Structure 1
Amino acid sequence: MADAALLSPRDPAWTEALDRVRHDIYHIPEYVRLDAGLTGGTPVAFRYDEADRVFLLPLLLRPVPDTDLQDATSPYGYPGPVGSEDAAFWSRAAGMMRELLCTEGVVTAFARLHPLLAGPHEALAPAGTLLNHGETVSIDLTLSLDELWSQTHRSHRNQINKATRAGVEIVFDDWTLYDTWIDTYHATMRRVGATDFYFFGTEHFHNLRDALADHVHLAVAALDGRVLGGNLFFEYDGMMHTHLQSTADAPIHYADKLLYHAVRTWGRERGNRIYHLGGGVGGSADSLFRYKSQFAAGRHRFHTWRVITDPSNFEKLAGPPTPESLTGRFPPYR
């Protein structure tokens, strides 16, 4: 017997499904609930069951302006579907998700797939559009320290050594420095011209720490008592992810390079398997991707999944689907 449902974060069926499959911090209800607070969306998870198999995808439901409709999108990060690794099962789950969301007045669904969690992602294509955006970078923490160092580009190695000689120190989980680090984060966002979305407030940062507890960590680079920057990162089931990194406006003495090196060393010592740095903006092979790629050789394909759940209302909002509307900004009416 098959069963499909949309679950609230309070429903124990959400965590019960996660207990049965490999997943990451982006899938837990505490993270999805917190992320929903940034946009005013409603946190849910689509769950599909067949016998002993389960499929789960976290989503945020958002009202479509000037309508009584909704659309669904991924929380920030990589909360793609997880489940029993059976392609035919995933295909049926995707079809059921499209049908259920349509009955709930949801016009489209957009999901970022998880680069590290292998699954039969190609089975999602019949229900929507699977788009390859490029690669992300990871560090294999099962390698020796010498192997990690040898995979680091020569220029990064030189600058890490310069930061060390300058006296830059990396401090882990000193939360008395959190608010000062938040100031450097906001300075970074102003410097790069980030959109309003990325100016997360101080309250959100403190709620993040409270919600994720021992799964969120802070590495701060300091010199002579001045915070040069820091790395807020996640640690969950042997996987680490940089969540947000920042640097101060003043000279930072290559603290950004030393931070990545110190965090990977810290993670390796704690027995983690992989440290995911992410990719370029939108998955592109831009300067940010090249910067990250000079720390390690690990590469992973990054995909998004775009689903039209209600074709009739989609056409009213955006016109007939075209290759451009399915592969560009999605949904196009946003």
Structure 2
Amino acid sequence: MAGAALLEPDDAAWTDALSRIRHDVYHLPEYVRIDAGLSGGAPAAYRYDEAGQVLLLPLVLRPVPDTDLRDAISPYGYPGPVADTADPAFWSRAAAAMTESLRALGVITAFVRLHPLLRAPAAALAEAGTVVQHGETVSVDLSLTPEQMWHQTHRTHRNQINKARRAGVSVVFDDWDRYDAWIGTYHATMRRVGAADFYFFTAEHFHRLRAALGERMHLAAALSADGDLLGGNLFFEYDGFMHTHLQATRDGGVQYADKLLYDEVRRWGRDRGNSIYHLGGGLGGASDSLFAYKAAFAAGRQAFHTWRVVADPDAFEKLAGPPTPEALAGRFPPYR
């Protein structure tokens, strides 16, 4: 017998599924609940069971303006579907059942970011939607020795990291008394780079995130020789995975604190026995200057994909026209 359901964060079936599947911090109900607050959506997870096997996909359900319909999107980060089997036939049936479940609940579309490290069978997902490959993401293999990690670092980054150390820049971990100061630094960085409004997360959001994740979230703060905050790296640590969530440095001279932060975080993660440190990719998965900056730290590369599902083609067509290949491969959903 097979079963499909959309779960709320308090449903024990959500944590039960996670207890059976290799997953990441992005799949935790407490993370999805906090993220849903950013868009005014409802946190949920799609669960599919069949013959003792299980799949889980976190989602945020958002109202579609001027309609009585909803659509679904991944929480911020990499919360793609995870399962306790790699069988493509199982994944294909799970994806088909998800489409039916969403349509029955008045959900038009789903936009899902796949996890670069927890690979999903793309061909199976493509049977129920469109899988788009973007650029690559960068990761550090934490089983390497510090010397091997250093060797993989571009010489320009190495030179600047050494300059930061000679200037007396240091990095401290989990000094949460500096959290509010770092949040101010983060907001200044977003203004400096002209970031979209979405990225101006409030101080209240940052504090709720810390309360929800507890010891799964860490702050590395870079300090000048005089003890001033130069910047910080807010990152997750969960079951051997590490991810930089956000990094920011203050306006003005920072003495290469940004590069020292990445170096110190990877060393810290290796010392704690983690397996991989995921730096992410370029803006929107593009091979841009941000990707090049991260790529100079490590040799690990993973393809980044998104999965676009049209659960209700009739409703989609009324809002955005026919679901052509071009409409499904571009900005999605196009009616947003």
TM-score bucket of the superposed structures, by smaller chain: over 0.9
Q: State how far apart, in whole Å, the 1-side matches of 2:123 and 2:187 are.
A: 38
Q: CA deviation at 1:180?
A: 0.4
Residue aligning to 1:132: 133
Specify the code of the residue in structure 1 equivalent to 2:29.
P
What are the equivalent positions in structure 2 for 1:191-210 lying under 5 Å apart?
A: 191-210=192-211
Specify the code of the residue in structure 1 equivalent to 2:48.
Y
Q: CA deviation at 1:144?
A: 0.6
Q: Could you tell me whether the CA contact under 8 Å between 2:114 and 2:120 is conserved in 1?
A: no
1:157 partner SS: helix
1:94 partner SS: helix
Query: Is 1:257 paired with 2:259?
Result: yes
Q: CA deviation at 1:71?
A: 0.4
What are the equivalent positions in structure 2 for 1:280-319 lying under 5 Å apart?
A: 280-319=282-321
Residue aligning to 2:335: 333
Tell me the alpha carbon deviations over residues 62-90 of structure 1, each in whole angstroms, 9 at most, x when there is no partner: 00000000000000000000002211000
Residue aligning to 1:85: 86
Tell me the alpha carbon deviations over residues 236-264 of structure 1, each in whole angstroms, 9 at most, x when there is no partner: 00000000000000200000000000000
Q: State how far apart, in whole Å, the 1-side matches of 2:172 and 2:90 are.
A: 46
Residue aligning to 1:32: 32
Q: CA deviation at 1:134?
A: 1.4
Query: Is 1:66 paired with 2:75?
Result: no
- Percent of residue pairs bearing the same amino acid type: 71
Residue aligning to 2:179: 178
Residue aligning to 1:273: 275
Residue aligning to 2:325: 323
Specify the code of the residue in structure 1 equivalent to 2:249.
T
Specify the code of the residue in structure 2 equivalent to 1:128.
G
Query: Is 1:145 paired with 2:150?
Result: no
Residue aligning to 2:218: 217
Specify the code of the residue in structure 1 equivalent to 2:190.
M
2:127 partner SS: helix
Q: State how far apart, in whole Å, the 1-side matches of 2:202 and 2:121 are.
A: 37
Residue aligning to 1:5: 5
Q: State how far apart, in whole Å, the 2-side matches of 1:214 and 1:67 are.
A: 41
Q: State how far apart, in whole Å, the 1-side matches of 2:123 and 2:279 are.
A: 24
Residue aligning to 1:164: 165
Q: CA deviation at 1:120?
A: 1.8
Specify the code of the residue in structure 1 equivalent to 2:286.
S
Query: Is 1:115 paired with 2:119?
Result: no
Specify the code of the residue in structure 2 equivalent to 1:307.
V
Structure 1 stretches of 5 or more lacking a match? none
Q: CA deviation at 1:119?
A: 2.9
1:329 partner SS: coil
Following superposition, which runs of at least 4 residues in structure 1 exceed 2 angstroms of deviation?
none
- Length, aligned pairs only: 334
Q: State how far apart, in whole Å, the 1-side matches of 2:285 and 2:43 are.
A: 25
Q: State how far apart, in whole Å, the 1-side matches of 2:48 and 2:56 are.
A: 7
Tell me the alpha carbon deviations over residues 200-254 of structure 1, each in whole angstroms, 9 at most, x when there is no partner: 1111111111000010000000111211000000000000000000000020000
1:127 partner SS: coil
Q: State how far apart, in whole Å, the 1-side matches of 2:4 and 2:115 are.
A: 22
Residue aligning to 2:15: 15
Task: Give the TM-score, by structure 2 length.
Answer: 0.99
Task: Give the TM-score, by structure 1 length.
Answer: 0.99
Q: CA deviation at 1:328?
A: 0.8
Specify the code of the residue in structure 2 equivalent to 1:218.
L
Q: State how far apart, in whole Å, the 2-side matches of 1:85 and 1:216 are.
A: 29
Query: How big is the alpha-carbon RMSD for the aligned residues of Structure 1 and Structure 2?
Result: 0.6
